[in-house]
Amino acid sequence: MADWTPSGNFLLGQNIDETSTTQKHALGTIVTCKHDTYGVGEFIYLVGVTGTDAGKVVSFDAATFQSALASIAVGVPRALAVAMSANVGSQYGWYQIGGVAVVDKASATSFAAAAPLGATSGLAVAAVTTLRLANAVVQAAASGASAVTSVNVALNRPAGPSSD
């Protein structure tokens, strides 16, 4: 997930794919970056939570910017993002909220392109109609083979759950 470079005049004090024990940006800071493979992405700076690996889906509190592994089955509407590093409890890092993100998926789950998705324990799962991520859709089909552990998802400031 490396090789994201900031757009414009923003200087990163912490790379997009790094975690830090020291806060290096104001919580909630949003930056736009470019990647040779994934194009333009948008990222928010948050506080990590235990169990976070790069590619996990998290929810976050818009007031405290504390993240939690997303499980939209709980049914609590919250802003969502995708971790860019193994950003565990009391650490700081970047989370993707826009563009094409590489998201960890449940091992036996397959996805068709343009399919909706859900999240459980931070992993992408097949969506139940009333518990799908809003503003997130599978960008490219992903096999259910156990060796396929991620899926590319197009994000536009996702939230959950959606009843669309």
pLDDT score at 63: 92
pLDDT tens digits, 78-113? 899 999 999 999 999 999 999 999 999 988 889 999
Name residues of the chain where pLDDT drops below 50: 1, 164
pLDDT score at 73: 66
pLDDT score at 147: 83
* Residue for token pair 């990222």: 43
pLDDT score at 145: 85
pLDDT score at 129: 65
pLDDT score at 1: 44
Rounded CA separation 60/68 (Å): 6
pLDDT score at 144: 87
Contact 129, 163 (CB under 8 A): yes
Return the DSSP state at 145. S
Q: Are strands 92-104 and 19-20 parallel, antiparallel or unpaired?
A: antiparallel
Contact 59, 48 (CB under 8 A): no
pLDDT score at 74: 60
Ordered by start, the domain boundaries in the chain are 20-152
